[in-house]
Amino acid sequence: MVNETITQGLKPYLIGEKIRALRLKKSMGLVELGKHTGLSAALLSKIERGKLIPTLPTLLRIAMVFSVGLEFFFDNNRNRHLVEVIRKGERKRFPERPGSDASSYWFESLDFKASERKLNSFYAEFVLVAADKLKPHQHPGIEVLFVIEGTLGLKIGGEDYELGAGDAIYFDSSMPHYYSRINPEGECRALVVTAG
């Protein structure tokens, strides 16, 4: 009787369907998901078909594979639009390279509360750094940068670019790149969006 009550109580959340949708979105088979989670394909199949209710540790293993929080599975409004407000005072400020004196910028995540991000957005403040201290970095995907204030130099795959306030650039961020503040006076700030 207790199990029946629990099953009925969890039914509206469609946990199995949500797991299946996440798996198919990643073009992942049950066997592959099993390798990532340490769970058998048969067990995962039962969960997806609603024949078995996963324990919280099991659900957490699955959630971690798809980079979603547990709350994703307990939202029973499937058509809810994802909305997260990040107040200015809630943002944390981080240097480009923690523990280094040569960080060319400081950044704050603008979307850290959103559990299902399809992109990452940052507010960045650039500082003057000696040219020999600038170190290129790269990451999969694409990047869009919009300069809010100041003049910013970018080196992308060996090419130099200079952007002023109001200018934007889109580029393949798997190419080595770095930023360098050009104007010595005032601020140099930008909005940076990465995806991929």
174's tokens: 């798997």
Which residue range is the domain that position 52 belongs to? 2-74
In this prediction, residue 81 carries a pLDDT of 54
In this prediction, residue 132 carries a pLDDT of 84
92, 136: one domain: yes
**pLDDT of 150-189, one tens digit each?**
999 999 999 999 999 999 999 999 999 999 999 999 999 9
182, 150: one domain: yes
In the listed set 74, 99, 118, which residue is the last one of a domain according to the structure?
Answer: 74
Q: Give the span between the Cα atoms of 134 and 105, in whole angstroms.
A: 10
67, 119: one domain: no
Mean pLDDT for the stretch of residues 33-46: 92
Q: Give the span between the Cα atoms of 32 and 188, in whole angstroms.
A: 46
182's tokens: 């050009």
103, 134: one domain: yes
